[in-house]
Structure 1
């Protein structure tokens, strides 16, 4: 899988966070460490999602300590924001097979990156099983 990665400058532009803030969140352990070091460091969609979630909670007045708890799996003190035209959301779009795609908003679904990976793996295995049966039926 060739997932999109971002430079620190691109990540800061997408999240409207300063480089200093991103580095601080990494230092606190709120955001995962980048892939690579120094100027070669790259950031993934997971980093983007982490920063957007932290930003949303922080702008709602949630302390960094409480944000740490929320990121560890506790219930969010901030209700989901109502969507309206112009709302920006980060979604995972999974291509399963021709005509089959899954779109997930992990934050809204309340699942962690690890749970998302497991979910995608299960969906892909199920699709392979079902589509394999379909192909056998059409040949036999």
Structure 2
């Protein structure tokens, strides 16, 4: 899509599959840039489309609107993961603690890692397979 293409609010809403009312809310709260032009001449650009698609992506990843706004404000380039939050005194972190075998444990902070439960499970399975196959190999050598 060329950057000089202009969209009405109706077109933008249909393009990103977000209700007009929600787009207006985002604009009003400074999460999305204001449209260019005024009143009936107002229009949206490719930048608005990208902002709204980023918001959708981060919401589906479970981020709050406040956090999304800070990401969009700080975002210089396209990043697959949000930058980690700066830790503050009194912050509480919730970690997944996975026991693999005696002496081997896996600690994952779900929000910062950006990993889905399925990805965590695959990591666990791969680690277990690797450790199990190494155990068999060393036992076979004895």
TM-score by length of 2: 0.51
- Unaligned segments of structure 2, at least 5 residues: 76-80, 83-111, 116-142
In 2, Cα distance between the equivalents of 1:37 and 1:78? 42
Does structure 2 conserve the Cα–Cα contact (< 8 Å) formed by 1:60 and 1:78?
A: no
Q: Secondary structure at the match of 1:42?
A: coil
Change (3 A) 1:4 1:79: farther
**Which protein shows a greater Rg?**
2
State the distance in 2 between where 1:2 and 1:45 align: 5
Q: CA RMSD in A?
A: 2.6
Residues in 2 aligned to 1:78 and 1:46: alpha-carbon distance in whole angstroms: 27
**SS of equivalent to 1:72:** helix
Aligned residues: 81
**Residue 4 of structure 2: aligned partner:** 3
Structure 1 gaps of 5+ residues are 81-140
Residues 96-120 of structure 1: CA distance to partner in whole angstroms, max 9, x if unpaired?
xxxxxxxxxxxxxxxxxxxxxxxxx
Match of 2:71 in 1: 70
Determine helix, strand or coil for the equivalent of 1:58: helix
Give every structure 1 segment of 4 or more consecutive aligned residues whose post-TM-superposition deviation is greater than 4 Å.
Answer: 77-80
Q: 1:137 maps to which residue?
A: none
